[in-house]
């Protein structure tokens, strides 16, 4: 009798907590809207701010019907304003960080239909702590079964031509199939 009464008291005390936890878990499930952007970059005390005073990070690869999209984020981690202009310069690297033979086009058109990310490139001033985004698109399509599929492990991304590049490792890699091409959208302020 004592154990049954103790169990009933425990259920009365813990039951609402478990119900609330289950409700919270149900409400915080993943919701995918557009392209997931990367998490904010680490604080400057955690890593040094790379030249030219910006850090580049990558979000998760969003995949749908063979089209892949990866949000990239440029954060001004320096002490002065930085002007992002045009398109990021992107190269696909293999597991040993060697460049792969991939054609990179500006805008979505080399890979997909133009969309809201296809804004004309224009200079954007990024103050310390502010961010701009771009997107990398590709398709995992096999056009010729006799050609081995291209799988990249890293992206080397420079904010612009002639600027130092940074290497990011997109989760899941870059599975280009046999297309051998990807597309990049211009840096812009996006919600």
- Rounded to two decimals, the pTM is 0.74
- List all residues 6 or more positions away from 113 whose beta carbon is below 8 Å from its beta carbon: none
pLDDT of the chain, 191 residues: tens digit per residue: 555 454 445 444 444 433 433 333 333 332 223 444 454 444 433 458 998 899 999 999 998 878 999 999 999 999 999 999 999 999 999 999 999 999 999 999 989 998 989 999 999 999 999 999 999 999 999 988 899 999 999 999 999 999 999 999 999 899 999 989 999 999 999 87
Task: Give the span between the Cα atoms of 163 and 16, in whole angstroms.
Answer: 56
Q: What is the pLDDT of residue 38?
A: 53
Q: What is the pLDDT of residue 47?
A: 57
HSE, CB side, 13 Å, CA atoms: give it for residue 118: 13
Q: What is the pLDDT of residue 10?
A: 44
Bridge partner residues of 182 (DSSP): 104, 138
Peptide bond preceding 52 in cis form (omega within 30 of 0): yes
């Amino acid at each position: 009798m004592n154990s049954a009464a103790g169990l009933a008291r425990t259920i009365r005390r813990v039951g609402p907590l478990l119900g609330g936890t289950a409700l919270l878990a149900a409400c915080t499930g993943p919701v995918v809207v557009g392209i997931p952007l990367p998490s904010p970059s680490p604080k400057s005390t955690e890593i040094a701010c790379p030249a030219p005073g910006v850090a580049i990070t990558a979000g998760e690869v969003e995949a749908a019907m063979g089209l892949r999209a990866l949000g990239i984020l440029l954060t001004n981690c320096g002490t002065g304003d930085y002007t992002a202009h045009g398109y990021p310069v992107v190269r696909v690297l293999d597991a040993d960080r060697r460049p792969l033979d991939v054609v990179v086009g500006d805008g979505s058109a080399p890979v997909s239909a133009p969309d809201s990310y296809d804004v004309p490139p224009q200079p954007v001033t990024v103050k310390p702590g502010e961010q701009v985004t771009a997107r990398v698109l590709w398709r995992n399509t096999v056009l010729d079964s006799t050609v081995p599929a291209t799988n990249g492990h890293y992206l080397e991304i420079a904010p612009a031509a002639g600027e130092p590049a940074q290497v990011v490792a997109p989760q899941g890699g870059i599975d280009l199939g046999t297309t051998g091409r990807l597309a990049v959208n211009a840096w812009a302020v996006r919600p």
